[in-house]
Structures are given as C-alpha cells and as structure tokens.
Chains A and B, each alone.
Chain A
Amino acid sequence: MSNKVTNVVFAGIGGQGVLKASDILADTAFASGIDIKKAEVHGMSQRGGSVSSDVRFGEGVLSPMVAKGEAHYLVVFDKTQVEPNEACLSEKGKLITVDLLDISKLKSPKCVNVALLGVLSNFIDLDVDVLKDSIKANLAEKLHEMNMAAFEYGQSIKL
C-alpha cells in the first residue's frame, strides 16, 4: 500500500456513531483538498452488531478498505471491539480506545465519537479548524457546544 496514505479504522457497536465519526474525518480530508476514500457496510450489520468504517486519505488512494496490518490508527468506541479489530493495526500503529476517556467529563456518552476524534487529531496531519468545521457540518446545531467541548477534552488527552 502507498506510504503517502494515512489509514484510520473506526470500530464499535451499531448506534455509537462509528459512521458519523468516519464521515467527519472523511469530510475533513475532502475539505483539505487531498484524496480520500471511506468504506463502510450498511444494512444487517447495523442491527446492534459490530460496525466498522475505514478512512484512507493522502495521495492516490486506491482500495477504500484498509488492509490487515496497515492501519496507522484504530479508534475503538466499545471495549469489546478491540479484539475483533486489532489485527488491522500496523506494527507501529496506535490504538485509541474509549478507555482513554473519563466519560463523566462528557456532557453525554453520545459524544464519545467526537472526543475520540479529538484524541486522534493530535496525531494526524489535518488542520484542526477544518476538522472542527466538519464536526459542526455533520451535527445538528444544538449539539455543537457539547461536541466542541468533547473534542477539546479529547485533544487534551496525551497518549
């Protein structure tokens, strides 16, 4: 796979905002003018089952899915989903999980996805302001304040 491409895998359970998080990241890359592909599966898998979504951005992205052992970042929203997905991580890949968060610091557990995007934003080469704009564009206005707070809380977490 091309070394000019960053590979991120999001994983969780249906209803946790996995696809929303991957949409936000994909929109950020798109708004930054670089190549981007995002893979996800709809339908049966969303009935309370495991959900994952791959985002690849950089230069000349081909496959929309991240190959096993090639993910630079694995972002997991539900502890149970680490094991089924960790094989996607590269040797030097980073695992970012919900365990890093103190959920009591979030206004709602529904902000976990955006908080973890905050953690991820410390590592990836995308402009934080563009990322924040994408978060707002993907969420209803009444949710902006709590999600901005969640994002900034995520940013404050150091791995």
Chain B
Amino acid sequence: MAKRILANGNEAVAHAALEAGIKMGVGYPGTPSTEILETFSKIGGHAQWAPNEKVALEVGIGSAFGAARTIVTMKHVGVNVAADPLFTVAYEKVDGALVIVVADDPGMASSQNEQDSRNYARAAGVVMLEPSSSQEAYDFLGKAIEISERWNVPVFLRLTTRICHSKTIVELNNLSKSTIEPHYEINIPERVMVPALARVAHRRIVAKLHEIEDWACEADSGMTFEKDGDKSIGIITSGISYMYVGDAAPEAGVLKLNISYPFPNKVVKDFAAKYDKVVIVEEGDRIIEKDCRMIGVEVVGKPEEFIFGELDIARTTKLIAGDGSPDAPAPKGRPPQLCVGCPHRYSFQVLKDLDAIVTGDIGCYTLGVMPPFEKIDTCVCMGGSIGVGLGLRHVLPDDQARKVVSVIGDSTFMHSGLTGILEMVYNRPKTGHVVMVLDNSITAMTGMQEHPGTGRSLDHTGAYQVSIEEVCKGIGIENIAVFDPLKEQEEMKATLKDYLENDKIGVIIARRACIIAVKNIIMYNKQNNK
C-alpha cells in the first residue's frame, strides 16, 4: 500500500519534488509559499533562497536549460518581480522540467494585494495547473513535470492560501524520476530570443499550447474532472473552490478544471450542453467566465462582490444563488502587531519623535503603521520605500522634503533595495535623503528565512555574508552609521536628526536580531563556527 501522510499543500509539493527527483528548488520566501522549499530541503532535496524572485526564476531557467528537473517557488506578488524572464522563457525550450509554483493569497491573509496569477498564465502563454487539495498538489506536480518535459515548456502550478496551509491526506504514489542526466545541448534558435528568432518562437509556443489543449481535452489526460448531477445546474470551477461547491451544492453537476490554461474548450462545451444553466464558481478575477464566453458558452458569472476576498462554503452558496449582497462584516479579531521586545519598536519611536514622513516597505516593520507608532506613511512593494521616498524628496517643498525617511528591512534590502540606493546617489535630491535599514538579521515576517545578509544558506549552514554597510559604501553613500536600536536609541536619533537637518545622503542601519529568531541565530552560528 502506498504511504499516506497528513500534509499541507506546500509539504505535499515538497514530497512530490523529492520523489520526482527535482534537482534544483529555488525561490524567495513569501507567505503562503515559504514552506515548499523549507520542507524540500528538510526531507533531503536541494533548495536555495535567491535574493529575489527574478533571480530565482533565472537560476531555475538555467537549471532547466541544463536538463535538470527544477521547481521555482514564490508568492503571487513575486511573479511581478519575475515577470521579465517569465514572459520570454515562455518562448524558449527547456530540456529539464521547469515548474513555477506560485501561491496566491485571495483575501490577503498576509499580502499587499490579491492579484490572480491565472492572468499571468494567459498573458505569458504559460500552462497552468490548479490543485484543489494536498493530494492534487502532489499529483499535479507530477503532471506539471510531465507536460513540461513532453512539450519542453515552463508550467505554472498555482496554489492558493487554503491549499498551501490546509492539511489533507496525501498518498505518496512514487512519482517517476527523470532518466536524463543534466547536460547542455546547444540550441540557439530556441534559446536566444533576438527578434528574428523570437518571432518564430512565438508562433511555436502558440502551436504547442493548441496541442496541449487538445491533449487536456482527452479523458485520460486527467486535466479535467466531471461529476454528474442534477440537469438543472452545472457548475464549472477550479482549485479550492471545488471543495466549497461540494459542500454548498452537493446535487449539482460539476466540472473541475485541473488545467486552468490552456482552457479545455471542448470539455467545457460538452459539459455546458448537458445542463439547463451553467454557473461559474471561481475565486479572484472572472477568468473561467470570460474564457467560456470567448468560446460562445452561455454561463452565469459571479456578482462583483465575489471578486473580493476568498470564497468559503457560505459565500459559495450565495454566489451560486446569484446573491451579490455584501456579507455582514466579520467580527474583529485582534490585529497583528510588532512583538513585545521587537527591535523595530525602538526605531519607530525615533521616527515618531522626529515627526518623519516614512515611506515603508514589505516586512514585519510594516506593522509600524499600527498604534502606538502609526509611523508608516506609504507601503507599495518590495524595495519601494527608497524610490517612493526619493520621489517625494524631489517634489515636496524643502521643509517637508527634509522629513522624508525610507525604511526597509535587511532581507528586503537584498531583494530590491540596491537599485534604490543607486538612484539615491545618481539623482540626488536637493535636500539629500535618508534610508533606515531596519536590520533584524533574518527574513522575519515569512517565518525566519535566511538571505544573503545573514551569512547562512536556506538550510542554515554557513555562506558568504554580504555587508549592507559595505555595499552602501561601495555605491557611494556618504554617511553610513550602524546602531543597536535598543542600546543606542538616543545616538541613533541624534544622527538621524543631523542627516535630515543638514541635507545629507545617509544610510542608518538599526541592527538588532529579531527577538523570535535570536535563539536560533545563535545556535546556527555556533554550529557554523561563526
């Protein structure tokens, strides 16, 4: 009998990756995707954190060009960072499987937006599979590898928060390993996207997508699943929504799209023909609905209310009934906040005392927006604090411009803060600018992951440690100061005041380890003899 485990979707993907002989797992941490690579590493796979998702995908592309089975993991907003290589690798030939595992966060449990990655599949022309349970997360990684190697194309495996973080039973079915050893086969026409070759490549990928669509419409492809039901209503759905449909409308006929893109036109048409009314149940954007209309299938879409937030059984019941009235507001729980003893608290007190205008970034320190500090004034994207701060500095009247401070974390600085620092010295605002790096020596918000500044790899063994201050010095920042925000709060405040009042270009590094991570950091460094 196959081994059974109770696993969340992330763990299920990791187990599938190990069994399928994935040779490279690479990504950048981000809730809800983080545990995929952590688990893969723990159970014996090779996994590494890249500085950001763009680099992660590029490393993954190289690995797949070298005929190694590869997974690249990231959260939904990470795909924005990785979009540049994504749209072009879509045209190129991969020899080893290249599976991009993306975790969407409808309802924004821990994200700055709720963008729907299914749009990327369509925009870039990349095949996408959507599991509805941990078992399918496991099985579909195997399917994604199969598709990627058969057609030599990258494939998305799209998870959502409830797939990533819900535990369900998984049977480990011994996925087949690759028989190909990594090697490089020269293939200029399919790997060098200069215009003349890319024009050909674009046609080639569209032709492949047609082939994949035809295959997906075959019954034994496993790319769709149909449950017969009462003739009065047929429901087309995908991913976790399939489970809610089962609870909300047990009598309905259901078509579950395991492949989200390319859209299995023929299967959808045949299904729709059997029912008096076809209702689309989907989280996020109206994508299945639009695809159905494109092929002339008459469907009932969802009221606008359901483009917001995640679905559950109650909302699915309303959606099917066409009831678009807003839900009663959920009772308020206690909001997250900066931990008691968090080193960021001391930095935010300084910013508050100096009445700074604070452009913020993505990390634990975004919680500086909560009382008692309320000292984050903007938050857009990873690394955005610096550029946004500089933009304000350039246009505001001098007295206001002098109050602008960008705050960014250590992991975020490595991810996409470096180019902001370049901009700061290259297009220097008249009033100068100050960046505060709130360095708690770990990627804290996502659950204590390593990055190039910690001096440790994903598995916490030793690695080269990049110095933030040396990088800033090398770029040409004139004033750099490092403080312990707890022990040197007053000195830090005086220095910040000096930089602001005297139109300086400065970086202040507030360095003190995250209070949750510090015990482990000491242990890892001891193990690594640091």
Contacts and interface: CB of A to CB of B under 8 A. Distances in A.
A65 B340 CA distance: 31
Majority-rule SS of A interface residues: mixed
A47 B338 contact: yes
Interface stretch (B239-247, B298-306, B408-416): B239-247
A41 B34 CA distance: 13
A27 B247 contact: no
A112 B110 CA distance: 27
Interface in A132-152: none
A83 interface: yes
A48 B336 contact: yes
A67 interface: yes
Interface in A36-79: 36-50, 52, 61-65, 67-68, 70
A115 interface: no
B165 A80 contact: no
Contact of A43 (B169, B313, B445): B445
B109 interface: yes
Contacts of B339: 47-48
Contacts of A50: 333-335
Contacts of B240: 64
Contacts of A30: 6, 169
B312 A84 contact: no
Most buried by B among A48, A52, A70: A48
A47 B312 CA distance: 24
A52 B32 CA distance: 16
A84 B167 CA distance: 24
B260 interface: no
A43 B363 CA distance: 10
A65 B312 contact: yes
Contact of A41 (B35, B110, B244, B334): B110
Contacts of B246: 62-63
B447 A43 contact: yes
B331 interface: yes
A99 B343 CA distance: 34
B165 A39 contact: yes
A45 B243 contact: no
B334 A38 contact: no
B110 A13 contact: no
Contact of B337 (A47, A61, A64): A47
Interface in A6-51: 13-14, 23, 26-27, 30, 35-50
Contacts of B166: 37-40, 64-65
A80 B333 CA distance: 8
A40 B439 CA distance: 29
A1 interface: yes
A36 B167 contact: yes
Contacts of B109: 41-45
Given A30-B169, A47-B337, A47-B338, A42 B332 contact: no
A36 to B, nearest CB: 7
A85 B334 CA distance: 11
B367 A37 contact: no
A128 interface: no
Contacts of B167: 23, 26, 36-38, 64
B168 A68 contact: no
Contact of A40 (B34, B165, B334, B335): B165
Contacts of A41: 109-110, 161, 165
Contact of A42 (B110, B244, B367): B110
A102 B331 CA distance: 28
B247 A81 contact: no
B39 interface: no
A52 B162 CA distance: 13
Contacts of B161: 41
B334 A64 contact: no
B446 interface: yes
B12 interface: no
Contacts of A47: 336-339, 364, 367, 445
A44 B336 contact: yes
Interface in B323-346: 330-340
A81 B6 CA distance: 28
A124 interface: no
Given A47-B337, A84-B331, A67 B247 contact: yes
Given A26-B167, A42-B447, A13 B331 contact: no
Given A36-B6, A42-B32, A47-B338, A85 B165 contact: no
B447 A36 contact: no
Contact of A48 (B32, B334, B446): B334
A104 interface: no
A157 interface: no
A83 B333 CA distance: 9
A62 B331 contact: no
A39 B335 CA distance: 19
Interface of A: 1-2, 13-14, 23, 26-27, 30, 35-50, 52, 61-65, 67-68, 70, 80-81, 83-85, 87
Interface of B: 6, 31-32, 34-35, 109-110, 161-162, 165-169, 240, 243-244, 246-247, 312-314, 330-340, 364, 367, 445-447
16 contacts: A1-B313, A36-B169, A38-B6, A38-B168, A42-B34, A43-B445, A44-B445, A46-B336, A47-B337, A47-B364, A49-B333, A49-B335, A49-B336, A49-B337, A67-B313, A68-B314
The 7 nearest A-B residue pairs measured at CB: A50-B333, A43-B110, A43-B31, A49-B336, A64-B166, A47-B336, A62-B246
Given A44-B336, A48-B340, A67-B313, 9 more contacts: A35-B169, A36-B167, A43-B109, A47-B339, A47-B367, A63-B312, A64-B166, A64-B168, A87-B331
